[in-house]
């Protein structure tokens, strides 16, 4: 485990802030009716995607979870988040050329898809892992999901296959205890997703998903294992979503409002603030630097909004050519 | 009479059937709050034992539906998006559809697979389908696609009472519709088309939300063309008698359907018209469907799914003007 440099720590911090600002932008644009599709906020989940995907190489593969529609997994890796905003506004400059609705794709950095039907990520990631293993260049696949997603059969089929064939896949589960309106304690008898991994002889580790460094460290181990050819791992990050499942929907558990106390208690462990306090104590951050980073992120997201607005819509004449590869 | 929204007509039908028959229950993801509202309010009336928020497991939900149905219950299985029928495909297409046959006609599978279908939200290829032709292509499944609140209520009641698995696709774009619903109970038998508007120049057979576009088009064409609009309401069983009678009168027909064109609903209806009314046709049967493409998202959706101007044009073309 290498010591994280000041620069590494600031990269994580900056990524958290940018993720949050862009998430807030998408939330506002959704409320203003300017997104031409739905949006699932990552508010509360930022540390998981940022912490884990920071460890991905440019030639790795990465299957995103739907929280933030790709933002937490793209920003730390240098993918320009304005292409996320533009895609949601249906513009040709979006990362899917403005034809996908909400799907996140980035061929250059191995973001090969995101699932409309939850669960595909597990099995597609097995395929990315298979390709990575065949390539023999030490590439790996990252697969992000929620705790609801692991209730689909594909999770179990993928675990089994990846373990049997020692595929280089790192599964990161963002366990926020909910799947849409339904609390998972009422739909599974298994409290910890990590225990499911163990059933398939896959190492499963539980970490604090509000602590970006804890996520980073756990992922580091899993990544090392995968790159060495020792097979898959699963990291279960305990986290919380601060907003409704998707924008404009009621915020309920079953059919009653979610507990305000529960939300408030998780708010006290805001992943961005926790890390900020830590870095302030370590003197990596100063009040002035915090302000500067926030201002830069504000400027960047304002520019992204304008860029998206000013971008043209796709040319519909292209659509028929998108159906079959030549 | 009272006015009911589209979704509320569906939930009222389910509530009436749950009150009438204790074997009826609702199972699916998030059915207690119900993101598309079709099962909203039921848990308050019937409790969580009969309105079951299930795991995120389409195969388990659909399979449990089939199993419970074979064991004597009448589950209403909510798939959320109709697209997710693909996630549940084994249990719906292979099991629900075929168990009656496999049991030598002795064990039925009375259940409903509910799904919100179609475009309108710009959500792209995995949340915008209306997989009607696929259901039609699997013998053993019935298929209802109501185009308004009145039909939604009557068809849902028939679907729950039916002794077969019935796919019930309600359309996102019909959600804002409101209609007068009688206080007295009514059931609309599966397999009865309705002439939604009579006319003499051209027949439009339209499905689901497309019925509403066809009616709007017919209104705009008033004075120029007399358009007859037929809503089959259920595609399995399909009421060809009503369609053929209309074609014999107008001698011209266009079929308008939101599912993908290739091997689609319109192709099937067209062929049956050819078989049953060829001598009455003044022009080939024509069709307007979704393009043979994934449903594009955001602003591109309208280039894949038929919109009002194309509907008007298709009717004019079919009428020979
Ligand atoms: C196969 C499938 N079933 C259902 C859905 C609808 N859906 C979208 S997100 C979601 C909940 C996902 O829960 P989880 O995996 O825990 O992630 P979270 O949203 O809580 O972050 C559901 C049920 C879907 N998109 N795909």
Does a structural domain hold residue B189?
no
Cis, peptide link before residue B237, omega less than 30° from 0: yes
Name the residue of chain A whose CA is nearest to B293's CA. Answer: A323
In-domain check, residue B187: no
Q: How far is CA A222 from CA A45, A61, A143, A181, A204, in A?
A: 20, 15, 12, 32, 9
Nearest 5°: CA angle at A278, between A277 and A281? 85
Residues B163 and B32 in one domain: yes
Residues of A in CB contact (< 8 Å) with B are: 36-38, 87-90, 96, 98-103, 115-119, 148-149, 151-153, 179-182, 184, 186-188, 249-250, 252, 254-255, 313-314, 316, 319-320, 322-323
Residue B30 has pLDDT above 90, yes or no: yes
Task: Tell me the average pLDDT across A280-298.
Answer: 98
CB A53 within 8 A of CB A62: yes
d(Cα B123, Cα A101) in Å, to the nearest integer? Answer: 5
Residue A115 has pLDDT above 90, yes or no: no
CATH assignment of the domain containing A271: 3.40.50.970
pLDDT value of residue A112: 87
* Residue B91 belongs to domain spanning: 2-181
A172 in a structural domain: yes
When the pLDDT of each residue in chain B is averaged and rounded to a whole number, the result is 98
Of A37, A254, A322, nearest to B33 by CB-CB distance is A254
pLDDT at position A321, please?
94
Q: Which residues of B touch A316 (CB under 8 A)?
A: 300, 303
For A151, the closest of B53, B55, B122 (CB atoms) is B55
Whole-number pLDDT of residue B64: 98
Q: What is the enclosing helix (H) or strand (E) of A182?
A: strand A182-183
What is the four-CA torsion angle of A289, A291, A297, A301, rounded to 10 degrees? -170
A113, pLDDT greater than 80? no
Is B48 an 8 Å CB contact of chain A?
Answer: yes
Identify the residue among B28, B52, B56 best suited for mutation to test binding to A, counting A beta carbons within 10 A and taking the highest.
B56
Q: Are A177 and A219 in contact (CB under 8 A)?
A: no
Average pLDDT of the segment spanning B285-301: 97
Q: Are strands A252-253 and A204-208 parallel, antiparallel or unpaired?
A: unpaired
Who lines ligand 1 at CB under 6 A? Answer: A 67, 116-119, 145-149, 174, 176, 178-180, 245; B 29, 56, 58, 80, 84, 87
Q: Is residue A50 part of a domain?
A: yes
Distance CA A70, CA A192 (A): 25
Backbone angle region of B285, left / alpha / beta, with phi > 0 → left and psi within -120 to 50 → alpha? beta
- Which pLDDT does position B315 carry in this prediction? 98
Q: Tell me how many degrees the CA angle A71-A75-A77 measures, rounded to the nearest 5.
A: 130
Phi/psi zone of residue B71: left (φ > 0), alpha (ψ -120 to 50 degrees), beta?
Answer: alpha
pLDDT in tens, B145-195: 999 999 999 999 999 999 999 999 999 999 999 999 999 999 999 999 999
Give A57 to chain B, closest Cα distance, Å.
29
In a domain, B226, yes or no: yes
Q: Helix or strand or coil: residue A33?
A: coil
In ligand 1, the atom with minimum distance to the C-alpha of A145 is 15
Burial class (CB in 10 A: 0-12, 13-18, 19+), A264: exposed
DSSP state of B39: T
**Cβ-nearest to B53 among A37, A98, A186:** A186
Mean per-residue pLDDT, A280-307? 98
Is there a single domain that holds both residue B156 and residue B237? no
Measured in degrees and rounded to the nearest 5, phi and psi for residue B52 equal -100, 115
Residues 6+ apart with CB under 8 A from A50: A12, A15, A16, A19, A72, A75, A76, A212, A215
**Nearest CA owner, ligand 1 atom 26:** A117
Residue B88 pLDDT: 98
Residue A320 lies in a domain: no
Instruction: Locate B98 and state its tokens.
Output: 């075929």
Tell me: do B102 and B210 sit in the same domain. Answer: no
User: In the predicted model, is pLDDT for residue A205 greater than 90?
Assistant: yes
pLDDT at A214: 98
How is residue A96 written in tokens?
């899917």
- B45 touching A (Cβ < 8 Å): no
Determine the residue of chain B that is closest to A314 in CA distance: B300
Mean pLDDT of B268-297: 98
- Out of B119, B153, B181, a domain closes at B181
A135 sits in the region (left: phi over 0; alpha: psi -120 to 50; else beta) called alpha
Q: Return the pLDDT at A1.
A: 73
- Report the candidate in B189, B264, B269, B290 with the shortest Cα–Cα distance to residue B234: B189
> What percent of chain A shows pLDDT beyond 70?
100
What value of ipTM does the predicted structure carry?
Answer: 0.96
Considering the domain architecture, whether residues B45 and B161 belong to the same structural domain is answered as yes
Interface touch B125/A101, C-beta < 8 Å: yes
Radius of gyration of chain A (CA): 19
- For the cut 90, the answer to whether the pLDDT of residue A189 exceeds it is yes
As beta bridge partners, residue B53 has B28
State the DSSP string of B69-129: HHTT-EEEEEEEEGGGGGTTHIIIIIIITTHHHHTTTSS---EEEEEEESSSS---TTSS-
DSSP state of B147: S
CA atoms of A72 and A50, how far apart (whole Å): 5
C-alpha–C-alpha distance, residues A54 and A52, integer Å: 5
Q: How far, in Å, from the CA of A87 to the mean position of ligand 1? A: 21
Which pLDDT value is given to residue B29?
98
Task: Name the residue of chain A whose CA is nearest to B43's CA.
Answer: A255
Tell me how far apart the alpha carbons of residues A134 and A168 are, in angstroms, rounded to a whole number.
Answer: 11
Q: What is the mean pLDDT of residues B128-151?
A: 98
Which among A37, A72, A180, A254 is the best mutation to test ligand 1's pocket, defined by most ligand atoms within 8 Å of the CB?
A180
Chosen domain end from B157, B181, B205: B181
Range of the domain at A133: 6-309
Output the pLDDT for position A2. 80
Closest C-alpha residue for ligand 1 atom 7: A180
| Residue A326 within a domain | no
pLDDT score, position B193: 99
- Please say if the pLDDT value at position A217 is more than 80: yes
Tens digit of each residue's pLDDT (9 = 90 or more) over B207-220: 999 999 999 999 99
What's the B57 CA to ligand 1 centre distance in angstroms?
A: 10
Q: Enter the tokens of residue A71.
A: 């933002």
Q: What integer pLDDT is reported at residue B213 of this predicted model?
A: 98
Q: How many CB pairs under 8 A join A and B?
A: 134
Q: Is the Cα dihedral A157, A160, A163, A166 positive or negative? A: negative
Same domain for B269 and B149?
Answer: no
* Number of domains composing chain B: 2
What's the domain count of chain A?
1
Catalytic residues of B: 127
pLDDT above 90 for A114: no
Place of tokens 């309920």: A252
Give yes or no: residues B116 and B164 share one domain. Answer: yes
Q: Check B121 against A149: CB less than 8 A apart.
A: no
Domain boundary among B181, B208, B238: B181
Within a domain: residue A324?
A: no
Mean pLDDT over residues A248-259, rounded?
Answer: 97
C-alpha distances (whole Å) from B97 to each of A262, B14, B112, B232 are: 45, 22, 12, 21
- CB contact (8 A) between residue A180 and residue B35: yes
């Amino acid at each position: 485990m290498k010591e994280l440099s000041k620069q590494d720590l600031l990269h994580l911090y900056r990524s958290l802030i940018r993720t949050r600002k862009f998430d807030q932008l998408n939330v506002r644009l959704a409320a203003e009716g300017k997104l031409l599709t739905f949006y699932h906020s990552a508010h509360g989940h930022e540390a998981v995607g940022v912490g884990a995907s920071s460890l991905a190489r440019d030639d790795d593969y990465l299957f995103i979870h739907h929280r933030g529609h790709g933002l937490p997994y793209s920003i730390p890796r240098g993918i320009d988040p304005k292409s996320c905003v533009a895609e949601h506004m249906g513009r040709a400059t979006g990362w899917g050329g403005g034809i996908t609705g909400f799907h996140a794709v980035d061929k250059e950095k191995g973001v090969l898809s995101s699932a409309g039907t939850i669960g595909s990520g597990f099995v597609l990631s097995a395929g990315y892992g298979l390709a990575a293993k065949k390539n023999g260049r030490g590439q790996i696949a990252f697969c992000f999901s929620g705790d609801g997603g692991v209730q689909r059969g594909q999770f179990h089929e993928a675990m089994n296959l990846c373990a049997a064939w020692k595929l280089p896949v790192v599964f990161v589960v963002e366990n926020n205890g909910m799947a849409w309106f339904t609390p998972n304690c009422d739909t599974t008898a298994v409290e910890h997703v990590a225990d499911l991994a163990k059933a398939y002889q896959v190492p499963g580790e539980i970490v604090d998903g509000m602590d970006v460094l804890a996520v980073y460290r756990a992922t580091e181990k899993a990544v090392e294992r995968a790159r060495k050819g020792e097979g898959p791992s699963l990291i279960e990050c305990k986290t919380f979503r601060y907003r409704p499942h998707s924008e404009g929907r009621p915020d309920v558990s079953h059919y009653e409002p979610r507990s305000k106390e529960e939300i408030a208690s998780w708010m006290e462990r805001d992943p961005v603030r926790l890390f900020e306090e830590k870095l302030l104590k370590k003197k990596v951050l100063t009040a002035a630097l915090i302000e500067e980073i926030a201002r830069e992120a504000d400027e960047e997201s304002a520019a992204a909004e304008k860029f998206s607005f000013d971008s043209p819509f796709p040319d519909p004449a292209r659509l028929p050519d998108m159906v079959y590869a030549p | 009479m009272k006015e009911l929204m589209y979704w509320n007509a569906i939930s009222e039908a389910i509530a009436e059937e749950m009150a009438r028959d204790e074997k009826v229950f609702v199972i699916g993801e998030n059915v207690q709050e119900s993101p598309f509202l079709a099962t909203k309010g039921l848990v308050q009336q019937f409790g969580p034992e009969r309105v079951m928020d299930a795991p995120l497991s389409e195969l388990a939900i659909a399979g449990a539906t089939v199993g419970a149905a074979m064991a004597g219950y009448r589950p209403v299985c909510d798939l959320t998006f109709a697209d997710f029928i693909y996630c549940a495909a084994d249990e719906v297409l292979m099991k629900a559809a075929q168990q009656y046959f496999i049991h030598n006609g002795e064990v039925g599978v009375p259940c409903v697979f509910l799904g919100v279908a179609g475009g309108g939200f710009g959500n792209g290829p995995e949340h915008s389908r209306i997989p009607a032709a696929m259901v039609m292509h699997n013998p053993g499944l019935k298929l209802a696609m109501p185009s308004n609140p009145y039909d939604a209520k009557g068809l849902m009641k028939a679907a729950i009472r039916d002794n077969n698995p019935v796919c019930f696709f309600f359309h996102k774009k019909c959600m804002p519709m409101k209609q007068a619903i009688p206080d007295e109970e009514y059931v609309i038998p599966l397999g009865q088309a309705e002439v939604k508007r009579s006319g003499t120049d051209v027949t439009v057979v339209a499905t689901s939300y497309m019925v509403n576009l066809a009616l709007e088009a017919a209104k705009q064409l008033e004075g120029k063309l007399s358009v007859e609009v037929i809503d089959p309401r259920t595609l399995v069983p399909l009421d060809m008698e009503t369609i053929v009678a209309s074609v014999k009168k107008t001698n011209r027909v266009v079929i308008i359907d939101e599912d993908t064109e290739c091997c689609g609903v319109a192709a099937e209806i067209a062929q049956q018209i050819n078989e049953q009314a060829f001598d009455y046709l003044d022009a080939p049967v024509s069709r307007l469907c979704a393009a043979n493409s994934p449903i594009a998202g955001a602003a591109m959706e309208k280039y894949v799914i038929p919109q009002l101007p194309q509907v008007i044009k298709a009717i004019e073309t079919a009428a020979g003007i």
